[in-house]
Amino acid sequence: MFRIDEDNINKAYEQAKKIFSQVGIDTDKVLEEMDKIHISLPCWQGDDIVGFEGGEGLTGGGILVTGNWPGRARNGDELRQDLEKALSLIPGKHRVNLHAIYAETGNKFVDRDQISIEHFEKWINWAKENEIGLDFNPTFFSHEKANSGFTLSSKNKEIRTFWINHGKKSREIASAIGKELGKQCVNNVWIPDGSKDLPADRMEHRKILKDSLDEIFSVKYDKSDILDSVESKLFGIGSESYVVGSHEFYMAYAFKNDVALCLDMGHFHPTENIADKISAILTFSDDLLIHVSRGVRWDSDHVVILNDELLALTKEIRRCNAYDKVRIALDFFDASINRITAWVIGARATLKAIMISLLEPVHLLREEENKGNFGNRLALMEEFKDLPYSSVWDKYCLDKGVPTNASWLEVIERYEEEVLSKRK
C-alpha cells in the first residue's frame, strides 16, 4: 500500500513551511485552526438508511441507496463500532449526525410521534465516551404516513398532525442532546414533499408547510443547546416536477423566523455552484449549515471527493472568514463499496479541502483585487494551485496519530476480514 515514512513527512513539512512562509502563511497556525473545525459524519452511511425500526429501510421519499456490500451495520452497537473505526482514521475530533429512525427502543415499537430522549441514551453515552458532538434530523420518509408524497404539507390533517408532532419530538430530543453533551446540536428539517408531475396548485401546499413549521418551531429552546435549520431540494425521485420546500421557500422562511438555512451541494441544478450563495446568506444570517455531498447528474449522494466543487465551497467559506458560522455535515450513502471506506474518503477529502482553503494566501489575492489588477488575481489563483498542500496534510495526520497517505486502507481491510465479513 502507498505510504511515506514519518521521517520524510517531517522533512517535507519543514520545506513546505518555508515555502508557505514566503507567501505569508504560518502553517503551524493553520494546523491549530484545523483543530477548531468539526465536521459531522452521516450515521446513515453505515447501514444504508435502514434504521432500527424493524423495517426494510427506504420505502420512498426521493432518496435511494444502491449496492449491497457485505457487512452492513444491523443495530446500534455495530453502527457505533463502525463509526469508531472510521473516526480513528480521520484526523481531528468530529461529530456524528443522527436521524430519528436510529432510536433504540428495546425491540418495542415506538412510532415517530412518540420518540423521546430515552431512546437515544446509548448514543449520548457513546458520544460522551468519545468526546464528540451529535446532530439530529427528524425522519420524514420511509413511513406509511409518507406514502402520499406529502408530510408536513399534506392536506390530510391527521397525517399532517402526525408529522408536526414528530418534528416537535425531534426538536425536544435535539435540545436535550445538546444540553447533556454541552455541545450545540444541529436539528435539520428536510421533507420529501412534492409531485412527480405538474401540480395544479403549488401555493396551497406551501402555505400548509409554513403553518406546520410555525407550529414545530413554536417552542423556544436555548440556542446554546440547539440550532434549528431547514433544507431545500430541487427535485427527488417521485418529486421531479414540484418540491414544496424549494430553496426560495426555505430561504425566506429562515430569514423571517430566525432559523438557519441548510444548503446541500446535491440539491441544486448541476450547473449551479452553492459557493456563490454563502456570502449572500451570511450577509443576513450568522448561521449556515452545509451538507457536503456529490451529485452525479442528479442528487445521487455519491461519496465526497476532493473535486473543484468542494474546493470552491471551502475556499469561499475561508474568504468569508466564516468557519465559525458555517456548520459542515457530510451527506452521502453508498452501499456499492465498503461503508467505512466511504466515510473515511469523504471526511478526509472534506478536511483536505478545508486545510487548502486555510493555506491559501487570500491576502495576496485581495491586494491585486483592490488594485483592480484582475489579471494578476487570476494568475495568482492558478499559481497557488501548485503550493505543497499535501505536505501539510500529511503532517497533520501524523500529529493526530492517524494513518497517512493510503495506509489507512490496510486498517479497513483487516477490520473487514475480522468483523464485517462475519455479519450475515
Say which residue the cell 487570500 belongs to. 362
Catalytic residue among 228, 331, 334, 360: 331
Residues 6+ apart with CB under 8 A from 169: 100, 112, 113, 114, 115, 116, 138
Task: Specify whether 291 is catalytic.
Answer: yes
Helices (H) then strands (E): counts for the chain: 14, 10
Catalytic residue among 231, 309, 360, 394: 231
Say which residue the cell 468526546 belongs to. 131
How far is CA 184 from its chain centroid?
Answer: 15
Nearest to 40 by CA among 408, 295, 299, 331: 331
Task: Specify whether 301 is catalytic.
Answer: yes
Catalytic residue among 183, 233, 302, 315: 233
Catalytic residue among 135, 193, 264, 309: 264
- Taking each helix axis from N to C end, the angle separating 408-418 and 339-359, rounded to the nearest 10 degrees, works out to 160
Task: Specify whether 233 is catalytic.
Answer: yes
Burial class (CB in 10 A: 0-12, 13-18, 19+), 312: middle
Task: Specify whether 190 is catalytic.
Answer: yes
Nearest to 143 by CA among 172, 166, 173: 166
Task: Specify whether 111 is catalytic.
Answer: no
Catalytic residue among 48, 135, 301, 309: 301
Residues 6+ apart with CB under 8 A from 393: 352, 355
d(CA 71, CA 97): 20
Task: Specify whether 214 is catalytic.
Answer: no
What one-character DSSP code corresponds to residue 286? S
Catalytic residue among 210, 267, 315, 352: 267
Catalytic residue among 190, 343, 393, 408: 190
Catalytic residue among 17, 145, 210, 291: 291
Catalytic residue among 299, 309, 334, 394: 299
What one-character DSSP code corresponds to residue 304? P
Known catalytic residues?
190, 231, 233, 264, 267, 291, 299, 301, 331
